[in-house]
Structure 1
C-alpha cells in the first residue's frame, strides 16, 4: 500500500509535468508571493497610519482640554462642549479618590467607574506615575492620561480614550478585499500564463516535430519558423543554430558518403586488375614465362598501390581520435629539411633536387607529421615533374614565421583546379592515372597535418611552368632565465646556412 502511494506521488510530481505547465506554476507562484507581500505591507501600513492618527487625536484632545481647564479653573460638564475634543474621543474625569465624576461616553457603553492606573497612582500616593504614552488596552481601546489641579488645589485625573471600531472595520474590509484580489489575480495569472506560454512555446513543438522526421536519408530537411514566431529572438536563434548544425551534419555525411564511394572505387580497381591477372595465370599463364612475369609485376604494383591507399585511409581514421599537439616539441627547421632531403634523394629518378636555402630556427610542432607533410609535397612534385626537371626545397625564416617551400618545374595545375586539390580523392583530370596521380589522398593528409600543427598552406601554380607549395608555421621563441631579468622572451639567434 505504501509503495502504491509513493508511485502515485511520483506520477503527480512536478518533474513529470510538461514544460509549459512548470513555467506557469513557477510564474504563478512568484506572482502570488509578490501579491501576498504587497497585501501584507498595505494592511500593515494602513494599520500603522490609523494608530498614529488615533494617537494624534488623543494628544490634541488632551492639549485642548487642559487649555480650557486652565482657563476656566474648575471642572464642569461644559468641558465636553468647549474643550474642542476630537470626534469619537471619550473623556472621563476622576476625583482624587478615584471616583468617576464626568463621562461623555455613549449611553449604551459600559461606564468605567474606576481605572486601575489611576487607582494605582492614588494608592501609592503618586509614587506610581500615570502612563506617559498612549496605551492600547486588551479590548483594543487607546487610552491617554493627564493629571490636573484646579484653582482650589483639588486633584483630578483625566482619562482620554478612543475605540477604533471604524478603523478596525475598515482594515477588516480591506484585508478581505485584498485576499479576494490576490486569489482573483492568481486565477487570472494561471489562465493567461497557460495561454501565453502555450503560444510562446508553440514553435518548440514545431522544432520537435521537424527533428523527429529527420533521418539519415532526409538530412536536407530544415526547421521553418512561422512569421509570427520570428519576433521571438530566442526561438529564432535556436532554430538558426539547429539548422546550422544540420547543415554541418549533412555536409559531413555527404563527405563521408563521398569518401566511402571514392575509397570503394579506388580499392575496386586494383582488385579487379589483380583478379584479372590471377584468372590469366590460372588459364594459360602458368607455363608462359612472359605472361607470368607480366602478371607478377602487375599484381605487385597493384598490391603496393593498395597498401599505400589503405595506409592513408587508416591515417584519416586515426586522426579523428587523437591530436598531434600532444606530441609537440621544439624542433630545428634546418634539421627537418635536411633529413627529408636525404631521404628523397634515392627516389629522385632523374630529377634534380636542390636545397636553395635552409634557415636554422626553432619551431614548435610534431616532428613526424611535419616530415610526412614535406615528403607528400616532394612526392607530388616528383610525380608531375618529367625526367630532367628540378625540384627546389627551401626553409625561409622571418621574424614571426617559418616557410617550408617545395617548388617544381613540372606540368603545373590549371587555375580553376587549385581550390580543390586538397580535397580527398580529388585529382586533376589531366593526371588521373595511377602511374602519376596516386590515390588523391596525399594533399588531403598534408592539409590535416598543417592544421594540426597550427600551420597554413599556400599553393601557386602555372600550367607547363611548375607548382610551388608553401607550409607556413609560427616561429618559436624560448623563455630563458637570466640572473638580472627572469622570464624575459629572448629571440633565438638566426643563422642561415646555404646548401
Structure 2
C-alpha cells in the first residue's frame, strides 16, 4: 500500500508521459466499451429476440389452428389439441374466459421452476401484444398474448409464456464476464502503454540529465551521445550539440574579450593614476577646486583599476589560468596586517578575537589577504560608522575558521543565496552610493574555493552579518 501511495505522489499529471498515457487509455476505453456494448447487443439479438419472435408467432398461429381443428372437432376439444400442438420446451400456453377461469392450458404448465412462479403466471390478467421480458421470483419469462377469436367469437384471453431464465442468466453472465474482461484488458493496455511511453521518453530524460550537468567550464568538451534512439531524438541531440558548440564559442569569445579589455585598460589607467598622484604631491599652487577634482579623478582611477583587476582574475579563473601559490602561513599575523591596512583607509574600530596563537594555515598569502580586505570593506560599507567590526579566528581539528562580523543593516533572506554571484547587488541605490560593483564577494568565493575552502553568510536585518571562511590546515593531495 505504501509503495502505491509513493508511486502516485511521484506521478506528474502534467508530464508528457501522463498525458499520452491518459489519452491513449481513454481512446482504448472508448474502443473497448464500444466493442463490449455492440457484442452485448448482438448476443441479446441472438438469445432474446429470436425467442420473442417465436412467442409472437405462436400467439398469431393459435387462433388459426383452433379454427382448423374446430372444423373436425368440437371447440372444447379443438382448443386443447391446438395448444398441445404448439407447446414446446419451456413454453407455456393457457386460455382464460371472461370470468378469469382457465379453460385450457398446455400439458407442461405444471413444470415451471416452482409453484409460486406458476401461481404468479396464472394470476396475470393482461398480456402485452408485443413480446416482452419480465422477471418473476428470480426467473425470466417472455410474455405475449391477446384475445383468442375463432369464427367471430372470442373464446377467451390467450396467454403465452416462455421460460428464458437459463438463457437470460447466461446472457448476464457473459455480459458480466465481458465487462470484467474489458476492464482487465483496459488496465493491462494502460500498464503496457505507460511502460512503452516511459521507455520511449527515456532518451529525452537522458538528454535533460546530461544537459543539467553541463556547466560553463566544460562547454567545449560537453556533448550529448545517445545510441539506438528514434530519428527525431537523434535530430534533437544533433541540434543540442550544435547549440553547445555555438555557446562554447561565444563563451570563449566573451572570456577572451574581458581578459583583453581588462589587461589593455589596466596599464594606461595605472599610468594616469601615477601622474595624478604625482601632480597632487608636487604641485603646491593648486586651488582647492583643482585639488578636489584631481583627488576625485585619482580615486576613480584607483577604483577602476581594482575593477579591472577583479575582471582579469575572473577571466583567468574561467579560462583555468588562475594559479595559487599555496604555502604555510601564520593566520594571526596575516589578519593583523590586514586589519592595520583596513583601519588606515576606513577609520573604523576593527578588533581581532583569536583563541590560539599561532594558527597555521595552507593558503595563498596574497589571495587570502585580498579575501579578508574584501570582506572587511564590505562590512565597512554596509554598517554604521559608529559600530565596530570583529574578526574571529578559530581552529577546529583539520580546519581554520575566520569570521568577519558587523552590526550593519543585514541582508534579506531571499538575497543571501545570491550575494556571491557576479554583479549581483542587494540594493542598487545603496550600492551606487557606496561605490560597489558587485564583484567583491564573487572574488572572495572564487579565491576561497580555489584554496580548497568555503565561504558562507549568516545575516539578520538590522542586526548585522557574519561571513564565515573555512580553510583547511593542510590541503588534501
Q: Shorter-normalised TM-score: what interval?
A: 0.3 to 0.5
Normalised by the length of structure 1, the TM-score is 0.44
Normalised by the length of structure 2, the TM-score is 0.46
